[in-house]
Structure 1
């Protein structure tokens, strides 16, 4: 089944909160900052600002963001952590509610498949497609994970691809022009104007291979990234060329030590490296009220800004290719942090 835009997508995007400048000092609109990057740029070499638990704005101890998806997109965020709960409606069709643990986030994956109430505030797929229709040189990376009521992979994918396939001919474009059809890390020119789905596993069902989302029809599979993943010594069930820092319950000083060490490793990787580096600058020790996600963000983000600023000032004689920080996933990202990551991407020398 195919359909055109029904008008149920989010309202017009809000104006961006800040501007960035390119290497020539010219202003860059954060809604369109990727338009200044070359098509040859391998996505794993672009410094990409992202958000952890991107839709989580409700629930005691579960709030990780204070901006909705459309605002995050307008402000330059390009990687989103989306947690989906499988729900079957009275007509038998399946849609996905967005959750953080048990907390419903007043969001659904799609507006066309129904199953949501009048309290739904966000439709992930709608907002992303609308943004890309208006900003054709950008790309959006969606990390897709099951959260609550986890289904076997065949059941999950059957529902998921039905929903995605239903958007064929959205805005007059075939599905392959809307969603990346490959299954390997793309260059930017291959994903402009498209969503790149990256599937990750959670702990539920982790011991049963039938629950692993490791055979997507399109997009990438990263396995379980709820832990540290070392590209040099991956676990038996882990994909290769992926390097992740995700110690999400360490005390604050220990978390920053691991974050900065992982960012340093990313920074020191040469321009020919193929590993995808992902650093989660997010943590929580809920129900400890002094270690909620906001408390961690208030502690970690100022240090992150200082660290990024220092690395961006390293002379080109030492790092001729420029600064690279990989994907940086954050709670409550500040405009200054987004700005620094965009600056790194704009000044990097891509092979």
Structure 2
């Protein structure tokens, strides 16, 4: 069970939060459905995820989760012809944006089939549901493959002419995009983009012009790995292919000896294609996936595909709410000990949302943490006694020397008491009072410790030590801009922060103590030997590891007054 105490708004401000991990939580039943779902509901929800994708984004740049034989969500023809478990609206609400619609031309209208099997829905049903969804979520666009399926019966016109009749229907016409090129989102928000897979004219993007993998025959369960090899190969081509080309990749496959649910989900000790795919995506092997048509996709697999679209955002952009669900669901994919889980989460984050200062924790059983962050914060469900945490900070910069910090923390932990969470709160408070010019995160782990039970990001400068049954990890980050004076060389020892002139360091308790300087942000400083900026002086706008290297001779323990000038804006 976890409890968070927020000290201020999370929106772009520093936030301190207490995160407790004192009671092991039984893993959710969702763990089994991370890549495969045969239920009528699903534990993910992204009805308007395209709202945060820039208007200028090409459809070809997106990673789109799609469903193969989208409307085959009931077993009218048995397990060989059922490919989905969710009705269309539930698929769309979950984040699916690419639809595979197979139309039989009968009596000058379209019924929806999977091969010879009528799925008890018609093209009107598909269009009405899609339009209702778009009206509720006008930021979205749907990509719909329209394919001629099975035999014609009792028709007086061509398949294309019947499609044109649907397109010209006033109820549908405003929503059916008529372009033939690969559009930007600005062009097609609130509309359906047709992938035209039928003869008799061009009514959308031609199916034959796509870069396609649809080798659907999987002769037996022992050929599933071979099918995955083809999917993986096409993912590689998509990654390195032309940014203007629309890539389509079918994860689906079937035969009399390997039905769709088995190819997707596996069985008899054999992994399914969906299982291979989610591991590949979460491991950071893919940056652009194109359109992926899948059978029985689980929440984690849908989210692993959607996660790639965060790469389209600026690294300074606040990550939208969809990322919280995506983090929680994809965390089920990582396994192993804490260090392996840490690597797995870290690889996923740096691939999905690069260019940010990510901090990652993987913790098992009894622990407590007080975390300061300046951006998004995410915590997974508990699984196999592990909890995964990720958060963002403005930077990973710390100005407190590692040796000085370790000595300080070592002196503090001797007087700590209580459980892991209580110790984390107390130690965080002391660090923040002693070094208020930067942020601190503190994790306390009760025995047993070691990398098999916890792992964390060690950025900048931190301290890691044990005392009794407790192990402490302290991390400093997000140091404020300013000029820092250090007692010893190489930015070690006692320190003070200045952001304005000081005529005498006597009152600061730092007279004749300077040996090194850290400058963060647009500052320049002049250091003088005597009070009131007199005597010998030197100036610098860069950090200095040893002031004796500055012009004018020996400077160790000689500075008494300081001029600080701000030279610009951060």
TM-score, normalised on structure 1?
0.70
Give matches, 1:161-240, under 5 Å: 161-168=164-171, 175=173, 177-201=174-198, 212-213=199-200, 215-216=201-202, 218-223=203-208, 239=209
Runs of 4+, deviation exceeding 6 Å? 151-154
> Is the contact between residue 176 and residue 191 of structure 2 (CA under 8 Å) also seen in structure 1?
yes
Q: In 2, distance between residues paired with 1:65 and 1:159?
A: 27
Higher fraction of strand: 2
Matched, 1:310 2:283: yes
Q: Does 1:344 align with 2:308?
A: yes
What value does the CA root-mean-square deviation take over the aligned residues?
2.3
Structure 1 unaligned blocks of 5 or more = 1-13, 20-29, 89-93, 111-122, 202-211, 224-238, 315-322
Q: Counterpart in 1 of 2:47?
A: 31
Cα deviation, residue 164, structure 1: 2.5
Select 1:244's aligned residue among 198, 212, 221.
212
Identify if the C-alpha distance between structure 1 residues 296 and 15 changes in structure 2 by more than 3 Å, giving closer, same or farther.
closer
Q: 1:185 and 1:154, CA in 2 relative to 1: closer, same or farther beyond 3 A? A: farther
Q: 1:276 aligns with which of 214, 223, 246?
A: 246
SS at 2:54 equivalent: coil
Structure-1 residue corresponding to 2:511? none
Residue of structure 2 in register with 1:332 after alignment: 296
- In structure 2, the gaps of 5 or more residues are 1-39, 266-271, 315-570
Q: State TM-score, norm by structure 2.
A: 0.44
Q: Distance in 1 between matches of 2:156 and 2:135?
A: 30
The CA deviation string for residues 92-148 of structure 1, in whole angstroms up to 9 with x for no partner, is xx32110001110011001xxxxxxxxxxxx10100010001000000111000111
Matched, 1:18 2:56: no
Q: Which residue of 2 aligns with 1:144?
A: 146
Shift of 1:178: 1.4
- Mapped contact 1:324–1:348 kept (Cα < 8 A): no
Radius of gyration: which is bigger? 2
Q: Does the CA-based 8 Å contact 1:142-1:195 persist in structure 2?
A: yes
Give 1:349 shift: 5.6
Structure showing greater relative contact order (alpha-carbon pairs closer than 8 Å, 6 or more residues apart): 1
Aligned length: 261
For residues 88-107 of structure 1, the aligned pairs below 5 Å read 88=107, 94-107=108-121
> Could you report, residue by residue, the CA deviation over 1:58-106 in whole angstroms, capped at 9, with x for unpaired residues?
3131111111111101100000100001121xxxxx3211000111001
1:69 correspondence with 2:88: yes
- Give the secondary structure class of the aligned counterpart of 2:84: coil
Question: Following the alignment from structure 2 to structure 1, what is the Cα–Cα distance between the partners of residues 55 and 263?
Answer: 36
Q: Distance in 2 between matches of 1:348 and 1:141?
A: 19
